[in-house]
Structure 1
C-alpha cells in the first residue's frame, strides 16, 4: 500500500506564506520578507543594465517583452540610475547557478544574479508578482509590484517535464507554449519522447523513410478510443491539422524538420529550458523497423507483450543507431541523450542464432546482459561525442556503467533508486504511481504530487546526493489534443514545481496561492482542469430525503446540472441553491468558468434505502478473511471462476504479503461491526480495480484496470454486524489500496481495525 507522507512547515514559514496572498508565488521562494508599499512601473520607468551585467542581455529582452505588451511600448534602457528603475545586477556572491535576489521598494526594483539562468528565474518571479492581465497584453498606464525582499535558489538541479509527441503529434507552436509554462514555473528540463512504435517525429536526413513513412499511420486502437470519447468530450478529437490523404488512405501524424527543431531548441534555450531528446532503443522501434526491416533479427511486428525490437547482434544495427544519433547529437546541445531502453520484448533475441553466437563470444549469460551489451556500446558512442546517456530503470536489470543516468519510473521496483545510487549512477525520480500525468487525475492527484518524497527512504546522506531531482511524464496514448494535454498536466504540474524547487513545503499555503494562478492560466489560454467540487459521493442513499449542495473551491465557478442523462453544458440549469431530492434520480453536474471552461462531469446516483438489519453471529474473531489469487484479471468478476492460491486473516484492508505478485486478486470477506445506525459514506482508492459491497448492497464500483483513483458511495446501516465484501485486483506494476469512511459529513478516516470481524469456524 502506498502511504502519503505529510510535510510540516515551520511556524515562521507558515506565517510568511499565509500572511499576505499578494505574494502568491509558485514555487515558493527560499526566503520572502514582505515590505511596506509598492513600486509603480510606467513609461517613465527605466531598465538599467550596467556594463558588468551585459551577460543578462537576453533576460533584459525577456523582461521588456513581458512589460511592453501592457505598457504599449518598450521601456527605455540605461546604463545607470536609481530612482524609478528596474536594475539587473551582476552579483558574484550568489553561489547557486539559478539563484537570485529580488528587492522591490517604492523607489527601485533590483534583480540580482550571478548567472543568466538565475536572472531569468528572477524575471519569472517578477512576472508572477505582476497582475495576470500582463499575459494578454492588456493596455495599462502603469503596473503595480508589491514591495518585498526575496532570496531564492532551487533545491534540485533536475526539474523536468516530459512530453510524448510520438503517440500523438504536437505542433511547434504548442511546444513553445509548453516551454513558456515550464519557464513560468521554473522548470529547467523538457524531455521530448520523439520516437516510438506509433510514430517517428524527428527528421533524420540519412534515413528519410523514418519520417516519410514512420511519421504517419492509419488510425490505430488508441485513435479509435479517442474518436469514440470525442462524441461526449471534444478534447478527445484528433487534430485535423495532422490528418492527410495519401494514396487513397487517411493518414495521421507529422514530424519536425531539423530546421524546425533548431528553432524550438533556441526558443527553449532563451528561457533556460534544456531539451533532452529521447530516441527509444532497442524496443519501441516499430515505426523505424517498418521503414527499414533490416533492423530486426528476422522477425517484425508484435511479440507477446511489446513490439519486436531492433537486433543487437547485427553490426548494421549499430551503424544505423550511430548514424541516427550523430544527427541528433549535432542538433541538440543538451549534455544528455535519452536512449529509452525500456519494455523490450527479447523473444526474437533468444531465438536468434546470431544472438546466441554473440552471447557466447562476449560471455553474456542471458538476454538481459545482451541488452546491457547494446546499452554499453551506445554509451561508449555517446561519450565519444561528449554526451551522457539516460535510460529508464530497466537498464539496471542486466548491469550498467556507473556513468549512465537512471530515470526511475517503476514504482513496483522500489529498490531501483538505491541500487542505482550504490552503483554510482545519478538518478532522476519519475515514479509512475505519482508522476505519470497521463493517469486520470482526481481530487487526490495534486495532494499526492505535492507530498512526493523526491529522495526515497533507505538512502544514506551520501547516496541521496545521487538524486538529481524529479520530472513528470505525459504519455499521450489517450491524449490526442493540446486541450486534453493541458487538462491532464495542469494544475498538478504546479505542485511538482514547488516540490523540486522549494526548500520547505506548506500544502495549505500552496492551495491558497494556487487559486490566484487560475486567472493567469486563463489569460494564457491554458485549458486546465478545474479544482474538484466536493460535498457529495458517487452513489448516494437516503431514507426519506436528502440535499445536494456542492462545495465550490473557487468563487467564480458556475455549477450546472442535468437529470435526463445528458452531459451538462453552458445552457444547462444552474445549481445556485441546495437541491432537495426525495425520489431516486441520477444527477450529472459540472462546474464552468465564466469564460466557458468546463470541469469534471460528476454522475451522482441517488437511491432510497432502508437501514440494513444486522446479522446474527455469536462467534467472531478480529480481522477479515483474505482469499487471494496469483493470476491476471481484467476485472474483479474474474475471481469468481478462478481457483484460490490461498487465504489468510488480515487486521486491516491491506493486501497480505502472501498474495503479492506481478498480478493478483484478493477477496476480503467478513463483517463491519457498525457502532451506530446511520448513513455511512465510503471512499475507495485503488490501483487497479475494486468493488465494495456492504450488507449485500453495492456501495462503490471502482472496477477495471486503471491508475489510482477514488470512487465513493453511501449505504444505510443499522448498528451491529454488517457483511462486507471487498474485491481488489492488480494487473501488474504496483498497487494502491485504501478504504476510508465518513458519517454525518465528517472528515474521512480509515476504517478502524476494531470494526473488522470474521466468522470463527465451528469445529
Structure 2
C-alpha cells in the first residue's frame, strides 16, 4: 500500500512539474530541446543589446526585437559592442545545420541567442516574444519596469520545410491591412509559407497590366448565392456579415469585390519577406476561370460561360490564343513574386466542353492523347515548361496525377478520399505538400474536436519507406472563403487551430496535453493583438437537453477569466446580457442562448440550448442478440439521412457506430443505416455526441436524439435522452455525399466525461 502511495505521489509530482513547465515556458510550437534552469534574466530599459558582427544582414530580426522592447519598456535597447554581464547577445553560428536553426541560452547573467542566418534569429525572436508578457502586444499598454525571461538552455529547428497557410481572396476579398495582420500571426507561430489563391470563378484579384479587364470587370460581381448564404447566417451570427468596405454602388447596382495592384502586392510581398514568410501565388487554370472568361470570352472553346455538370466552363487548351494569354499572365506573375513556386491549380476541371470541341479533337489526335484527362496533363506539362523557363517550379492540386505527371512538378494533396495520391507521387519522385480536407480545410466549421484532429495529423502518409517519406515537404491548412465573408470570421476559422498545425510541422513530437496547457497562455496575447479567435468550447450541456423533474445548467468554463452571458428571449447574447450564474435551475421547457466573452470582449460560439421535460424511457427485453450492430448499405447520393431509399443493397455486421474502411471506395456517395440495441448500465440522463461528415441522425427508442443531417464537413452535434437502465433500440442513419466520410458516436452520463460508446453496450438481433 505504501508503495502505491509513493507511486501515486510521484505521478502527481510529475504532472504538477509538467504543468508548471508549460506555464513557465508557454512556447508554441514547442522547441526541439529545452532544458529548464533556475532563475530569470531580467530585461530593463538599461539592458544592452549586442548585435552580430555583420549586423546589416540581420536587420529584420533585430528590428523585430527592438520593436518588442520599445513597446514593453518605452524605448529601444541601447546597442553595445561588447558582451558584458547583463546583456542580450546575438551571435552568428555557422556550425548550425539549417537556415532556421537557433539556440538560446538564458542565465541570470546573460541572454545569448545564436543562429546561422537572419531567418534563425527571427525564429528566435518569436520564441523570446512568447516568453514575454502578453502586455507587450499592445502599442498603448502600460510600460513595464522589467521583463523576466526564465532561464533555460534551448536548441531548436523545424522538422518540415513547408509550414504553410492558404488564404482564398477570390470568393471573398481581404484588405491589405488584414493580409499583413495574417502574415504577422503566421510569423509569430513560425509558419513560413503563405499560399494566396488569387483567382477563381467569383473574382480575379491581382492586376495584370496586359489584360486590364481581368480586374476592371473580373474583380467585381453582384451578390451571388454564396453571399446570400452569408447574409442569411449573419442574422444569427454577426461575424458572417459581409465586410462593407468591399461593397460599392455603381450604375444603380451593388457590386462586391476588389483587387490588389502590382504595387500593393509588392508591398505585401516585402512585408512578408521581412517576417521570413514566402508568398506563393495561385492562378487557377484551366478550370475555375469564369471571372477571366467573362472578361475575355475567347478563352473558352466556343466562347461559352457558365456551369457544366459539376464545375464551371474551363479555358480551352486547344487554342494557341489560350496559351498566349496564360503565358502573358504568368510572365507578369513570375516577375512580381520572388518565390520559386507558382501554383497552377488544375483542379476540378469540367472537361465536357473539351470532349465536344473539334479543336480539342484535332489537338488530341496530333499529340496521340486518348482521354480528356491526358489533354489536361498536356496543358499542365506545357505550362510547367513555361514556368521552368522563368526559373519557377509548378505546384498543382493532386488532380495533376490524372493523365500523367512530370517528375519535377510539386503535388499538393487535398482529396482525402484518394489516399493513394500522395503515395503514388512520392514513389514517382515528386515532392508533395500535404493538405487533406480532413483535417486541414479550415473553412470547415470548427467544433470541440477540431484542434485535437489537427494536432494528431501525421504529415507522412502510410505506406512510404523512410526514403520515400523525404519527398513530403510538409503541410499547410487551407481557408476557402465561399462562406467566410468577413475578417472576423476568417480569424475565427483558423485561430487557434493553426497553432496546433504549427507545432505538428515544427516540433513533430506529440504532447497534446502540454500543448493545451501552453495554449491557455496565448489567448490573452491574441486578445491584445486584436485576433477574433474561436474561444474554447463550453461544456456541461448539449444542444437538445432533457430533464425529468427539474434540470440544472452548470457550464464548465475552460478559461477562468471568461464571462458567460445568456438570454431567454431568443436574442443573441451581447456584452449587456445577463451573466450566467454558477447553476441555473430549469423547471419548464425553455430555450436558452449563451456565449462566452473574453476580457477583451471577443465573443465565442453562440449556443442555443433547448430544454424539454421527459420521463425515463422504459427498457426493452432483448433475447438471442449478437454483439455489434447491423449496417445496411445503400448505394447512391442522398442529401438527407431521411431520404435514404427503403431497400438496402447489402448488409454487414459492425462492432460499433462506424463506417468500415473502404466503403464508398473511390470517394463515392452512399447511405447507411446502423441499427441494433444499446444497453445502458444505469438509469440517468445520457448525452450523445454524433460527429459526421457528411450527415447523420441518431434515434434511440425511435426518438430523434441528435440531428446532424445534411452534406457538410466533419462537425459534432449533440442531444440528450432520459433512459431507464437496460436495453433500448438504437439506429443511426448516415449519408456520405462523396469525398470522405467521418462517423463517430460518443456519450456522457449526468454531465460526466465525454467518451466513446463501448462495444459491449451494443447488440443486434439474430
Q: Normalised by the shorter chain, which TM-score bucket?
A: over 0.9
1:737 paired residue number: 743
Aligned-partner SS, 1:398: coil
| Separation of aligned partners in 2, 1:592 and 1:62 | 31
Q: CA distance change for structure 1 residues 357 and 16 in 2, over 3 Å: closer, same or farther?
A: same
**Quick check: 1:398 aligned with 2:403?**
yes
2:453 to 443, 448, 451: 448
Q: Give me the whole-angstrom Cα distance separating, in 2, the residues matched to 1:658 and 1:78.
A: 65
Per the alignment, residue 230 of structure 1 pairs with: 234
**Which residue of the partner structure matches residue 280 of structure 1?**
284
CA contact under 8 A between 2:433 and 2:474: conserved in structure 1? yes
Question: CA–CA distance in 1 between the matches of 2:67 and 2:621?
Answer: 75
Alignment length (residue pairs): 749
Counting only pairs closer than 5 Å after superposition, residues 261-660 of structure 1 correspond to structure 2 as 261-298=265-302, 299-639=304-644, 641=645, 643-656=647-660, 659-660=663-664
Q: CA deviation at 1:140?
A: 2.8
Uncovered stretches (5+) of structure 1, i.e. residues with no partner: 1-10
For 2:117, which of 115, 118, 126 is the aligned residue? 115
The 3-state SS of whatever aligns with 2:521 is helix
- Paired residue secondary structure (2:444): coil
The separation in 2 between residues aligned to 1:243 and 1:676, in whole angstroms, is: 58
Q: Give the CA deviation at 1:652.
A: 2.2
- State which of 677, 698, 702 in structure 1 corresponds to 2:704: 698
> Deviations along 1:441-496, whole A, 9 cap, x unmatched?
00111111111111122111111111111110000011111111001100001111
Contact 1:215 / 1:253 at 8 angstroms: preserved in 2? Answer: yes
Map of 1:689 onto structure 2:
695
Do the aligned residues in 1 keep the contact of 2:100 with 2:119 (CA within 8 Å)?
yes
> Aligned with 2:195: secondary structure?
strand
TM-score (norm 2): 0.95
Instruction: Give the aligned partner of residue 132 of structure 2.
Output: 130
Shift of 1:722: 1.4
Partners of 2:168 and 2:664 in 1: CA distance: 31
**Equivalent in the alignment of 2:3:** none
1:157 equivalent to 2:161? Answer yes
The answer to whether the 8 Å contact 1:547/1:578 transfers is: yes
Are 2:540 and 2:554, in contact at CA under 8 Å, matched by a contact in 1? yes
Shift of 1:12: 9.5
- What residue is the counterpart of 1:664 in the other structure? 670
Which ranges in structure 2 are unaligned for 5 or more consecutive residues? 1-12
Give 3-state SS (helix, strand or coil) of 2:329's partner. Answer: helix
Equivalent residue, structure 1, for 2:6 = none
User: Closer, same or farther in 2 for the Cα pair 1:94/1:722, shift >3 Å?
Assistant: same
Q: Is contact 1:196–1:287 with CA below 8 Å preserved after alignment?
A: yes
| Partner residue in 2 for 1:7 | none
CA separation in 2, counterparts of 1:79 and 1:171? 42
Q: Which residue of 2 aligns with 1:727?
A: 733
Q: Secondary structure at the match of 1:369?
A: helix
1:548-600 alpha-carbon deviations (Å, 9 max, x no partner):
11100000011111222222222222112211222222222111123221111
SS in 2 for 1:458: coil
| Residues 22 and 514, structure 2, Cα contact 8 Å, conserved in 1 | no
Q: Is the 8 A contact 1:49 1:80 kept in 2?
A: no
Supply the distance in 1 between the matched residues of 2:342 and 2:43 (Cα, whole angstroms). Answer: 43
Q: CA deviation at 1:82?
A: 1.9
Please tell me whether residue 718 in structure 1 is matched to residue 724 in structure 2.
Answer: yes
Secondary structure of the 2:424 match is: helix
Q: CA RMSD in A?
A: 1.8
Q: Please give the secondary structure, in 2, of the residue aligned with 1:162.
A: strand
- Say if 2:88 is the partner of 1:79: no
Q: Distance between the aligned counterparts of 1:102 and 1:488, measured in 2?
A: 33
| 8 Å CA contact retained: 1:412, 1:734 | yes
Asked if the contact 2:299–2:322 (Cα under 8 Å) also holds between the matched residues in 1, the reply is: yes
Which among 90, 94, 97 is matched to residue 96 of structure 2?
Answer: 94
Q: Indicate which of 243, 246, 252 corresponds to 2:247.
A: 243
Q: CA deviation at 1:192?
A: 0.3
Alpha-carbon spacing, 1:296–1:744, altered in 2? closer, same or farther (3 Å): same
The 8 Å contact of residues 638 and 735 in structure 2, kept in 1 or not, is answered as yes
Q: Is the 8 A contact 1:164 1:194 kept in 2?
A: yes
Structure 1 CA distance, aligned partners of 2:440 and 2:663? 26
Following the alignment from structure 1 to structure 2, what is the Cα–Cα distance between the partners of residues 597 and 407?
Answer: 35
Whether the aligned pair in 2 keeps the contact of 1:622 and 1:651 (CA below 8 Å) is yes
Please report the TM-score for the alignment, with normalisation by the length of structure 1: 0.95
